[in-house]
Structure 1
Amino acid sequence: MNVNPIQLFDAESSTYTYILAAPGSNEAAIIDPVDHHWERDLAHIERLGLKLAYILETHAHADHVTSAGKLRALTGAMAAVPSGCGISPAELQLRHGDVIRFGAGEEIAVLHTPGHTGGSMSYVWRDNVFTGDTLLINGCGRTDFQSGSAAALYDSVMNKLFRLPDDTRMWPGHDYKGQSVSTIGWEKRHNARLANRSLEQFVELMANLDLPRPKLIDVAVPANRNLGLPHGA
């Protein structure tokens, strides 16, 4: 049975948030919520008669602030974060191979997919993978800050994400071109940065992108390491 995630969008940072729920239980999980959309996200959850069990982060974001801390306080859900991202207030510090269980037998498999940041995680649920900033539709996340590494990202994609079944639906953490979902098979064959490119070619490509520094990085990263809450909260 195919069960689609609920995909929500923040136009300011082009961030996707996902709500995962399935028949047989009212428990749900949310991935990468954004601070100024907490009311919208809770409204979706309440409208569907769901109870939030887990709040997952793919990494400590540099372009927006998370609402994880606020949602946790309001719902009693547990925050689950990559262990390598320095998000110390979260209840669950995830490692590669962990499994998050919720609802009526639902499982989210945890993949450590570093490269965009040193701690970045992807999450596999049913026939879906949520790739954060590691793999984007026809692209990938930048690798020039927060312990980023082009070589590590290439390894994460080629040896973890691209080894998932071709028909796995790939849901990115961002999109800047109005795209919403892809498949692992399409990305393996067509991704403009990664398909048919050697490690050396990819590293050279990423080294020459010359991207501007994220405007919010000095605010967002410290806030996100505290689940989006003011320090001391």
Structure 2
Amino acid sequence: MLLRRVPRAVAIARGVATGRGDRKLLLRQLFEPVSCTFTYVVADARSRDAVVIDPVLETVPRDLKLLRELQLNVRWAVNTHVHADHVTGSGSLRAALCCPTAISGASGARADRLLGEGDELPFGAFALRVRPTPGHTPGCVTLVLDDESAAFTGDALLIRGCGRTDFQRGHTVSTVGEEKRLNPRLTLSPDDFVRVMEGLALPRPRIMDVAVPANLRCGIQDDVA
């Protein structure tokens, strides 16, 4: 999920190049309907350097087609955490594009780069900064654009919810301030939050036993460090 902090990000969510000064950001929000996963392509519109966030294995051909059409050079394929509801496409992108993969070191997964608090993933004149946000999984991170105009939270924070993607419908973009005011879970006391989360009785993700082992290996590849 993309959380927006400033009005100009409305244009970003629609895929329009925007920016401040001599920087121009290009963003595409892509959707995989089976696992209800959002994949983000974030790029420097001038240099064409890009980062792909949370790719899905089944939609890698679609993503590669878009990357070619937009003439983007992928500098990183990064996962916000070890997903349980789909197999990541980061390994497949690495094989196709020779781009390094990245994930939190706290995730226990393999990748070319293991991320920690304060690390940055540079692309052109921009960078994504790593902020650990454990809860949904121990290795969840939020990737914050270096001017703090956008945050990619994975499943740690959802629109009017948290922790799962497969029960969220209709809304695709929110803001930090909006969620702090209106999210029915974030407005609870810590004790009430724990009580609500423990009482959800959510079903086990359908392909968890396949997805988690694969994602701990960064997807389909076998040769990451």
Q: Which of 120, 124, 127 lines up with 2:144 in the alignment? A: 124
Alignment of 1:211-230 (within 5 A): 211-229=202-220
Which residue of the partner structure matches residue 194 of structure 2?
Answer: 203
Alignment check: 8 A CA contact 2:26 2:45 kept: no
Instruction: Check whether the contact 2:91–2:221 (CA below 8 A) recurs between aligned residues.
Output: no
**Aligned match of 1:101 in 97, 122, 128?**
122
User: Matches of 2:221 and 2:68 in 1, distance apart?
Assistant: 26
Q: What is the SS of the residue equivalent to 1:135?
A: coil
Question: Are 1:16 and 1:174, in contact at CA under 8 Å, matched by a contact in 2?
Answer: no
Query: Number of matched residues?
Result: 200
> Residue 114 of structure 1 aligns with which residue?
134
Cα distance in 1 for residues equivalent to 2:91 and 2:191? 40
Aligned-residue offset at 1:176: 2.8
| Distance in structure 1 (CA, Å) of the matches to 2:221 and 2:90 | 12
Per-residue deviation, 1:119: 0.8
Work out which structure has the larger RCO, using CA pairs closer than 8 Å and 6 or more positions apart in sequence: 2
> TM-score of the superposition, structure 1-length normalised?
0.82
- Is the contact made by 1:132 and 1:174 (CA closer than 8 Å) also made in structure 2? no
Q: 1:70 to 1:108 in 2, by over 3 A?
A: same
| Contact preservation (8 Å) 2:44, 2:123 | no
**Which of the residues 167, 170, 176 maps onto 2:168?**
176
Report the residue type matching 1:93 in the other structure.
L
CA RMSD, aligned part only? 1.7
The normalised TM-score by structure 2 is: 0.84
Percent identity for Structure 1 against Structure 2: 43
1:188 corresponds in structure 2 to 180
Contact 1:136/1:174 (<8 A) preserved: no
Residue 5 of structure 1: CA displacement? 2.1
